[in-house]
Structure 1
């Protein structure tokens, strides 16, 4: 017990990771077991509700009085094409994420309780600066560094070009470059100072976290592509769960290394999610225009290229961390 009390932040971090892994594994099990059935039932009930509303007296009167408005609204909830319910849901998601981000900005600017939480978490993480766990998180955070994100973007674009799905690159650029520009402008606007006990030297401002942003925007878009090109539901679910865990790890690395406050990482997640949704919307719009085909016959050379790209990114990240990130470690 005395050892646990002396290393409370480390045990709290370990418990948090255990909790996250447990929740994700349960979520993976539930999605694989019940996901397809739930989706089919949801679509079935949606069709039933639409039929019921179509026979409703008030809806019929509204249709007769405002035919053009009714047609426009009914098209927004049509399941048969992208410009219907899919686009409507994407816009709702974007609006909700933006509202959450603006709410977080207000809380940080007005020194709401989340700021006190930021300082408390930062103080606890500073106690881990001599722990061996720091080396692990330096390697994790390197995956979202600028050189590595450029490499991931380049390799993803090359793969899309080789498999002749070049319009996918447009969505990739929208998600990554849009999120990067938004983050740069936000940092310049808010000019929040980084935590006092920072471990790796940084010369940019703190809010929102660029690493958290690009992790969701870039790696989230790569995850979207892997899921979209995959036809196996179980594999899609596992890819999604692994990606979520990776994003959590990168965000956590920024907090453990005291590079950012908790609210910085949350803000970065929201900005990344916003631009990821925009990138996916653009890609799905191009797909609806028959510019992209998701039903591909994968050649062995293409599969090898994807695996070699992943291995190359992993090795490059470890080398980058060793040659560049570790020397930045402040004593």
Structure 2
């Protein structure tokens, strides 16, 4: 029947000098990679198994959880007024509410520029992740570290860390959406900055005395697994739509 929507968008990116510029990042629909549903599903399953293992280890006190008390004690000993102020700032910026607001902002932008499937990914990943970690907290009901060690107020259960879960989901979603069309250096920089931020947010929860380290580790794994599931569905859906539009269906 004609060219796909993707090709139409590429035509819009042709400048006056006649040079066609491939869209990239969050400003326009990028070229879709060849779908690899089996690979994506395998990655999601592996991460889901790792998340389950992390939750079990934290809940039963084995594996990484054996270092929880020592790491908390070391964090308390390392406290200073400057570090505490920095930790509070990072933990607030990387909090669950702040991450939800960021995800909504990304979704609104994607919707505005015509990337409807990407907007749905941002909202679904954030909303589903929030429900997932909240449900796990209620189910596992793991106590937080002693009140005397806490520097900020908290209200719900400890496992998994909501900050760790939501930071990796939302920041990871942004990396996924900004990935196509970027050069190697830009991709390495994105991953490095994203990883540094996610790690920093998670570690502030231990430093501030409101989470065991195994809570944070489990949160990273749960968030990574949920993000992998969402990206797998998103990639499959966009590839399916592209095939339909290209074939004139």
Band the TM-score falls in, shorter-chain normalisation: 0.7 to 0.9
The partner residue of 2:182 within 214, 228, 231 is: 231
CA separation of 1:155/1:111 partners in 2, compared to 1, >3 Å: closer, same or farther?
Answer: closer
CA distance in 1, matches of 2:204, 2:51: 21
How many residue pairs end up in the alignment? 209
Q: Is the 8 A contact 2:90 2:201 kept in 1?
A: yes
Q: CA deviation at 1:232?
A: 2.2
CA distance in 2, matches of 1:187, 1:155: 27
Q: CA deviation at 1:236?
A: 1.8
The partner residue of 2:104 within 154, 157, 167 is: 154
Name 1:243's counterpart in structure 2.
194
Name 2:150's counterpart in structure 1.
198
SS at match of 1:289: helix
Q: CA deviation at 1:269?
A: 0.3
Q: Is the 8 A contact 1:183 1:208 kept in 2?
A: yes
Q: Deviations over 1:156-183 (max 9, x none)?
A: 0121012111121221122111111110
CA distance in 2, matches of 1:130, 1:269: 26
Q: Deviations over 1:221-248 (max 9, x none)?
A: 01111113x3323212211111111111
Q: Which moved more, 1:251-260 or 1:103-112?
A: 103-112
Q: CA deviation at 1:106?
A: 2.6
SS at match of 1:132: helix
SS at match of 2:211: coil
The partner residue of 1:111 within 61, 64, 89 is: 61
Q: Is the 8 A contact 2:136 2:160 kept in 1?
A: yes
Name 2:18's counterpart in structure 1.
none
CA distance in 2, matches of 1:92, 1:112: 26
Correspondence 1:48-59 to 2 at 5 A: none
| Cα-Cα RMSD | 1.9
CA distance in 2, matches of 1:139, 1:206: 20
Structure with a larger share of its residues in helix = 1
- TM-score relative to the length of structure 2: 0.78
5+ long unaligned stretches in structure 1: 1-79, 293-331
Correspondence 1:298-313 to 2 at 5 A: none
The partner residue of 1:220 within 161, 169, 172 is: 172
CA distance in 2, matches of 1:146, 1:105: 19
CA distance in 1, matches of 2:58, 2:134: 18
CA separation of 1:240/1:194 partners in 2, compared to 1, >3 Å: closer, same or farther?
Answer: same
